[in-house]
Amino acid sequence: MHKIEVDAEVDLLEENRRLAEENRRILRERGVTTINVMGAIGSGKTLLIEKTVESLKDFKVGAILGDVIAKDDYKRVARHGVRAIPLNTGKECHLDAHLVHHALEDFDLNGLDVLFIENVGNLICPVDFDLGEDYRVVMVSVTEGDDVVSKHPEIFRLADVIIINKVALADAVEADVKKMFNDAKRLNPKAKIIKMDLKKDVGFDEWMEWLRCALQSREGLLR
């Protein structure tokens, strides 16, 4: 019985990898840079996308908003005038390549430069599921506790960018931002780690600098 369960899991992950590569091929052929934004509920993922959309006026941006029920985040992002679709997962606690593959069938990629995929809000389930993205961004908030990074090592090891958000609240919630930063650095020395507070415009310029460099490094997006 255990062998059957293991085999089923291996087959599921292998199929996800296959579809993720197909998604990646489709997106790269269209010249779209894709960013998978992950993090717990309330970490600031949707607000990050909203502020980024407003700051990327020289790029054509799209967004896929994933959640159990995604309409609220979809409305927030769509009001900024970008191409956006909600992607409901129902009972699933993460997006997978299959769900994204079907979403891409209905998504107008023509002329698009950047696609943000907002994953479902948690730090565990999305880890094993490549969606076909170019970059992974992981957000945490100081309000989740300063041990949140050390408690969820795998998602941070796979990140290209780690954002520690709401740092202005650190003293109020007795969170040690330095510990969070050092935990992230220990787990992933290669990642870009940003101390941020989106409501106070702390660290956002640093994020935009990284993002523009990432976009400009892609063939066909040199500006």
What are the pLDDT digits (tens) for 112-125? 999 999 999 999 99
- Under CATH, domain 2-216 is a member of which superfamily? P-loop containing nucleotide triphosphate hydrolases (3.40.50.300)
Where do the domains of the chain lie? 2-216
- What are the φ and ψ backbone dihedral angles of 34, each rounded to 5 degrees? -115, 135
Rounded CA-CA distance 189/207 in Å is 17
CB atoms closer than 10 angstroms to residue 172: 10
Q: What is the percent of the chain where pLDDT is above 70?
A: 93
Q: Report residue 135 CA to chain centroid gap.
A: 8
145-154 tens-digit pLDDT: 999 999 999 9
Average pLDDT estimate for 40-59: 96
92-113 tens-digit pLDDT: 899 999 999 999 999 999 999 9
- What are the φ and ψ backbone dihedral angles of 160, each rounded to 5 degrees? -90, -35
**Tell me, what's the pLDDT at 131?**
98
Per the CB < 8 A criterion, the answer to whether 147 and 178 are in contact is no
Q: What is the percent of the chain where pLDDT is above 90?
A: 88
At position 124, the amino acid (one-letter code) is I
**Tell me, what's the pLDDT at 1?**
41
Average pLDDT estimate for 155-182: 98
The reported pTM is: 0.92
**Cα 131–Cα 132–Cα 138 angle in degrees, nearest 5:** 60
Average pLDDT estimate for 33-60: 97
Average pLDDT estimate for 157-186: 98
Rounded CA-CA distance 117/121 in Å is 12
Burial (CB < 10 A; 0-12, 13-18, 19+), residue 11, is exposed
**Residue (of 155, 180, 184, 151) closest to 166 by Cα position:** 180
**Residue (of 199, 33, 3, 17) closest to 115 by Cα position:** 33
